[in-house]
Structure 1
C-alpha cells in the first residue's frame, strides 16, 4: 500500500524522487523506472529469484507473464476442462492462453482482429480462433454457440469497454465469470443490462494477476525453468538502449509481442 499511494505521483514511498537532470527532478514511472542504467527501488518491490534463470528472459515475468497467467490461476481459478474465451492475443492474452493450457482448460478460444496472431496462439494452447471481422454482427451469439452455451470464463486483454461488455455477455448463464485485465482510457465506463448479471454471470477485475510478488514471481520463474510455461517466443525483439524508440515503434505498429531493452 505504501507503494500504491505514491506510485501515481511518480515518487518513492518516502515522497522523494531519486532522479534528476540538470538539477531538475525527474519523476519515477510505475514504481521502478526501468528505462535507466541505474534505479532505486523500495525494498518491498524486490523478489529473489534463482541465479540460473536468464534475466533477459525472466524480466518479462515482472508484468505481462504474471498478469496473464495469474489472472487464470489466482483470480479466476480456472478448473480443468473449463471453457475459456480470450479477447486480444497480444502479450497479455497469450499468457492467459498458456495459463489456461497449464491448468487443463478443455476449450481455449482466442478472439483477435489480426489473423497473424493465430499461429503463435495455437502454439501456446489455443484450440479455436475467431476473427470478429469474419463472424458478422453478433459476435456474442457466435461465441455462445461455439462454447456450447457460453464460456465458463472470459478474459478481456485489450482495454476496450465495448469488448468488455461482449466478454461478459459471452459467458455462460448461472456461473460464467468475465475477468477484466485490459486498461481502458481515463474516464471511460462499462455498462451492460442488469439481466446479464442477475442471470448468474459475474464481472471481475484483476491487477498483476492477483499475484503476491515476493512468492508468486519466483514460482513463475521456476515454471519457466521447468518448461511448464514458455517465454522465449513472446520476446520477439531484443534491442540496445540506443534503439529503444524502435521498440516503441514496433509495439505501436503491432509488429512485436514484447521487446527487451538490453543494457
Structure 2
C-alpha cells in the first residue's frame, strides 16, 4: 500500500535536551510539501558535529531529530520536484545547493545563501515535518537522518548511482567529502608536495586520502592519540608524530622536518591552539593552511598580520568546498570506480536503536565512523 501523501509513523532518535542521551521515540512524519522530498533512510553515520549539539557547543533549536550524514531511498515527492523520483537512491545534503543564488553561481563558492533558514531548525517555509507526543520536533541542518523517514527540500538532496552501497556512501554526506575536498578542492594539493594533517578522526583521515590522491609526496599526520597512527599510515600518511613527545612547539618540529614548513597544512580538530599550530607549520612564503575543524562557539584568535604578509594563504570551507548537489553524485561515482576507499573509515556497524552506544564509541576515541543501519 502506497504511503505517498500520508503521515508516516516511524522510529526516530529525538534529542530533547543537551547533555542527555537520545531517546528512541515513535514520531509522525508529514508528507512532503511542494519542492520537498520524503526519504526512507537506509543508513546514517555518527559525526562529531552531531555530538557538538548534544554537548551544547553548537546551538540548535530543541527538541530535534539530528543526523546529517546518511543515505536512503526516495519514498515520495511533493509537487514540482523534478530532480528525483520515488525509488531513487539519494544522499541528503546538509549544505544545500539552490543553483540560483550568488554563491551557487560563483565558480568557487559553495555555501548556498538560501540554506540560512535551516539554522532555525525548520524547512524553508519555517515549519517542521516531525511531531512527537503532540509536539513539533525541529529539523536539523536540512537533513535529520536519525529517523526512519525524513523530509528535505529538493535543493538538499542528490540522486546517486543505483548500484551504490548506501551503508558506505553515506559517509559522502559529510565527513569524507569535507576532508577529501579540503585537500583536492580547497587547498588544491599538488603532486610531490608536503602536507601536515592535525587530527586523525574520520575527517582528518579523509584529508589524508585526499592528499594521497592528489599525489603528495610526504604526508605528516599529527595527533596525541598514537592508536590512530596505524590507520593513518594505511591510508597514506608517510610519518606520524605526537606533540606530547616533544619539548618544543609542534610547528617548530614540523618546520625543522620540512625545510621551513609544509606546502599544505590542515587543522581538523576545531581548536584555536591547533589552528595556530597548523598555520605556523605551513611555509611562511608559500604555504597554504586550511581550517577544516569547526571551532567552539564564540571563540576568536589574535593573529599577527606578518604571518600572512610574506605569502602564506589561510583559508577554510564548508563541505570541502564542494557544490553539494553537483558534486555528491560524482563523488559516489568515483568511489564506485575505486578512485578512493571508504571502508577503512568504518570501524563499527550497529542497528539504529544503538545510537547512544555509537556516540560513546565516538567520545571514547574507539571509533572512526560508526554506521547505523535501519
TM > 0.5: yes
Residue aligning to 2:268: 157
- Written as runs of structure 1 = structure 2, the 5 A alignment for 1:216-235 is 216-235=327-346
Measure how far apart 1:215 and its partner are: 2.1
Q: Distance in 1 between matches of 2:177 and 2:302?
A: 28
Which residue of 57, 67, 90 maps to 2:168? 57
Q: 1:73 aligns with which of 151, 175, 184?
A: 184
Bigger Cα displacement from structure 2, 143-152 vs 159-168 = 143-152
Residue 117 of structure 1: aligned partner: 228
**Equivalence for 2:353:** 242
Q: CA deviation at 1:151?
A: 0.8
**CA–CA separation in structure 2 for the residues paired with 1:192 and 1:129:** 27
Match among 312, 318, 325 for residue 207 of structure 1: 318
Q: Which of 112, 123, 127 is matched with 1:16 structurally?
A: 127
Task: Quote the offset at 1:137 in angstroms.
Answer: 2.5
Q: Is the 8 A contact 1:101 1:125 kept in 2?
A: yes
Q: Which residue matches 2:300?
A: 189
How far apart are 1:180 and its partner, in Å? Answer: 0.2
The equivalent of 1:143 in structure 2 is 254
Q: Work out whether residues 250 and 256 of structure 1, in 8 Å CA contact, stay in contact via their aligned partners in 2.
A: yes
Quote how far apart the aligned CAs of 1:191 are: 2.4
Are positions 1:97 and 2:208 aligned together?
yes
Distance in 1, matches of 2:345 and 2:163, equals 20
- Superposition deviation, residue 3 in structure 1: 4.5
Q: Distance in 2 between matches of 1:249 and 1:45?
A: 29
Measured in 2, the distance between the counterparts of 1:100 and 1:252 equals: 26
Deviations 1:10-36 (A, max 9, x none): 000111110111221110012110001
Q: Aligned residue for 2:154?
A: 43
Of stretches 20-29 and 159-168 in structure 1, the one that deviates more from structure 2 is 20-29
SS in 1 for 2:191: coil
Task: Give the match's secondary structure for 1:155.
Answer: strand
**Cα distance in 1, alignment partners of residues 301 and 292 from structure 2:** 13
SS in structure 2 of the partner of residue 197 of structure 1: helix
* SS of residue in 2 equivalent to 1:143: helix
Aligned to 1:132: 243
Deviation of the 1:2 alpha carbon: 5.9
Partners in 1 of 2:313 and 2:194 — Cα distance? 15
Q: Using the TM superposition, give the Cα deviation of residue 242 of structure 1 relative to its aligned residue in structure 2, in angstroms.
A: 1.4
Preserved CA contact (<8 Å) 1:2 1:13: no
How many corresponding residue pairs?
263
Gaps of 5+ in 1: none
Q: Specify the SS of the correspondent of 2:230.
A: helix
Query: Unpaired segments of 5 or more residues in structure 2?
Result: 1-111
Deviation at 1:69, TM superposition (A): 0.7
Deviation string for 1:189-214 (max 9, x for gaps)?
Answer: 12222221112112101100000112
8 Å CA contact 1:165, 1:191 repeated in 2: no
Deviation digits for residues 22-55 of structure 1, max 9, x if unmatched? 2211100121100011010100111111111100
Q: Secondary structure at the match of 1:237?
A: strand
The structure whose residues are more often strand, as a share, is: 2
Which is richer in helix? 1
